[in-house]
Structure 1
């Protein structure tokens, strides 16, 4: 029930942001309005990038974003940022895994990272933790398995 409340709150926030940047009040956001929206959060978007983002997200082909298009665009950006953060975390846990490139989280690399975080675990305990999310049964976590674990 809390999750549903949070979803409603988030949708209301999107509506308020959308209304704020819908400068002409037509219920649509143009590429230039999107650029101002992005600038307001401290990022820069070129005119070409804004038009491409609108074109990608525009569901009715009018060259503008309605509220639902805007929500999908924002959520896609949030997901992209989340995956970027997960990749960084994955690299930290996989570093020094001894697999020739740090592309897997092994019991040894997990034990090392948990130790750095002040959490003492044996290699066996780390192996059990990994086994819970080790979908291919190789005894280690690749990035896709790590994403499932962090969901």
Structure 2
């Protein structure tokens, strides 16, 4: 569940502690590799939205994620690879500060390259200034 809580934070683009249907669409695309319609995302939100605010709290998001998670390691790694692909947009097989900035910008969370460099540095285990998939996986598991 720690991994899913971290996913919640990653996809809470505006850091308001809630995930909108639009943010949920990004999550589904990143984890499953398939897009869903705005209507389907809204229906998913509505299906677990206990307080009726049209947004998912972390608890509601975790409930939704638990319903969709098969629990198999292969599925988990595929989901991580898909999420990694959202941020690895340069085709270099790693997340660079520039690719992280672009991906966050597309998700509505603008950061400058210096901020992105600092974010990467926290999990850059080999100290080369980028995140490999293994480092990304370690970050998501922590």
- Name the TM-score, length of structure 2 as normaliser: 0.49
- Name the TM-score, length of structure 1 as normaliser: 0.46
Structure of larger gyration radius: 1
Q: Which has the higher contact order (CA 8 A, sep 6+)?
A: 2
